Amino acid sequence: MNVVAIYEPIAGAEATVHARAWCEVDLDAVRHNLAQLRAAAGVPLIPMVKADAYGLGANAIVRLCTQFTNDEAPWALGVATVDEGTDVRKAGWSGRILCCSPVLPAEHTRMCEERITPALHTEADILSWRRLGERPWHLSIDTGMNRAGVAWNEAHTLADVVSFHPPEGVFTHFHSAGDNESSRSLQEQRFADALHTLALPASTLRHAANSPALAADAERRARPMWDLARPGIALYGSPSSSALQLSPVLHVFARVVDVRNVATGETVSYDATWTASRESRIATVAIGHGDGYRRAFSNRGIMQLRGQPVPVVGVVTMDMTMIDVTSVPCEVGDVVTVLGAPHNRRNADGAEHLSIDALAELAQLSPYELLVGWRLRLPRVYRSAT
């Protein structure tokens, strides 16, 4: 992957450095979002940097996290695989790393070597980990996600092993915290019941709040329960919460590589799904689903050109997407905003931002899968004023 690490504005350089399409990652926005999430949670954070920091580049995000003072620094960084944890170490993080997904016993030795804390939920795995020495681990309890962890109503089966080998922490994961308060309450009660059954030491750290839970709590002006919080996508600017006041982190731009006139009745792109109802000017933008701009945006996506919204017309192809620029001046080489703030207008009205949430809704996609998709091919530029 081509990653361009630039830590200051490169005014005038884009024409040669980024001739086609690129992502810009605002590290100051990440720093701001971390501060907002710390304030909202009121407890130490475990920011998730899995999946290459949700596609934004884990190396840069991890390096940013190493710059905080003790009071501001994350309690740990969260990953989903042992390889991701290893990469976090290589990026310079010397603090705790929590792998929140299940791992195989064969991976335990490497986790010890890299000082990666596992999430365990079976007696066999706990004993396997314990044989490597007295090292921290976290107990995963399933309260309704049905994905990983010991079932809350079967927690009693681990009572003996955790009494001899108590975990550093214990956690669960909400499945609908942002949409369904009653489901969250049920999961919290199940979690509390499991904790009561296990009778863990009072020093055991408890955590459950994810990004949707933190946003919901901020809206209700309530503090999340327990001792730690695990923000993921919120670190990168989603959800669009007025209470959290998160800043957009990712901005995606692409250049116009062709402009042509299309006569009334002519079609555009594969399968002829769009037909010109008038004499039209169609611009070809150098970005497609091979870059992360999903085929789902065909005939429904919106981009911005010269600060004006322009519709996607026809099917999004692997390398190119067509937009209708009939009503907007357009030339080959113009920069189109695909996601985020209008190009060279960082202080534009918030209504002009193409947010990850708004784009995901247009394409009927999850913001999560849309966010991670940009890492396919596009170079990334990191910007920071500090």
Residue 141 C-alpha from the chain's centroid: 23
Q: Are residues 265 and 211 in the same domain?
A: no
The CATH number given to whatever domain includes residue 190 is 3.20.20.10
Residue 24 C-alpha from the chain's centroid: 15
As a whole number, mean pLDDT of residues 97-115 equals 97
Q: Are residues 211 and 91 in the same domain?
A: yes
pLDDT confidence tier of residue 100, bands split at 50, 70 and 90: very high
Catalytically annotated residues? 50, 270
Q: Are residues 69 and 191 in the same domain?
A: yes
- Angstrom distance (rounded) from CA 342 to CA 305: 8
pLDDT value for 281: 98
Site of tokens 């396919």: 376
pLDDT confidence tier of residue 283, bands split at 50, 70 and 90: very high
Burial 295-318 (b: 16+ CB within 10 A, else e): ebbbeebbbbbbeeebebbbbbbe
pLDDT value for 344: 63
Q: Are residues 132 and 278 in the same domain?
A: no
- The pLDDT tens digits of the residues spanning 185-222 come to 999 999 999 999 999 999 999 999 999 999 998 888 78
- Angstrom distance (rounded) from CA 77 to CA 49: 7
Q: Are residues 32 and 175 in the same domain?
A: yes
pLDDT at 84 over 50: yes
User: Alpha-carbon torsion 83, 88, 91, 94, what sign?
Assistant: negative
Q: Residue 205: phi, psi to the nearest 5? A: -80, 130
Retrieve residue 248's tokens: 């957009």
- The pLDDT tens digits of the residues spanning 321-364 come to 999 999 999 999 999 999 998 876 544 444 478 999 999 999 99
Q: Are residues 232 and 255 in the same domain?
A: no
- The pLDDT tens digits of the residues spanning 54-77 come to 999 999 999 999 999 878 899 999
> Could you say which of 236, 262, 294 is where a domain stops?
236
Q: Are residues 113 and 201 in the same domain?
A: yes
Q: Residue 281: phi, psi to the nearest 5? A: -110, 125
Q: How far is CA 5 from CA 20, 65, 89, in A?
A: 17, 16, 19
In-domain check, residue 206: yes
pLDDT confidence tier of residue 239, bands split at 50, 70 and 90: confident
Percent of the chain with pLDDT over 70: 93
pLDDT confidence tier of residue 7, bands split at 50, 70 and 90: very low
Retrieve residue 66's tokens: 């190493």
Alpha-carbon dihedral of residues 36, 40, 46, 49, nearest 10 degrees?
Answer: -40
pLDDT value for 17: 57
Q: What is the pTM of this model?
A: 0.91
pLDDT value for 300: 96
Q: Which of 173-187, 350-364, 368-382 has the lowest mean pLDDT?
A: 350-364
pLDDT confidence tier of residue 259, bands split at 50, 70 and 90: very high
Residue of higher predicted confidence among 13 and 83:
83
CB 324 within 8 A of CB 262: no
Helix (H, G, I), strand (E, B) or coil at 308: strand
> Could you say which of 236, 265, 292 is where a domain stops?
236
- The full length of the chain comes to 386
pLDDT value for 14: 46
Task: Report the domain count for the chain.
Answer: 2
User: Alpha-carbon torsion 341, 18, 380, 366, what sign?
Assistant: positive
Domain holding 277, by residue range, is: 250-354
pLDDT value for 351: 41
Q: 3-state DSSP: the chain helix, strand, coil percent, rounded to 5?
A: 35, 25, 45
pLDDT confidence tier of residue 273, bands split at 50, 70 and 90: very high
Burial 148-161 (b: 16+ CB within 10 A, else e): ebbebeebeebeeb
pLDDT at 139 over 60: yes
Mean pLDDT, all residues of the chain: 91
DSSP letter assigned to residue 121: -
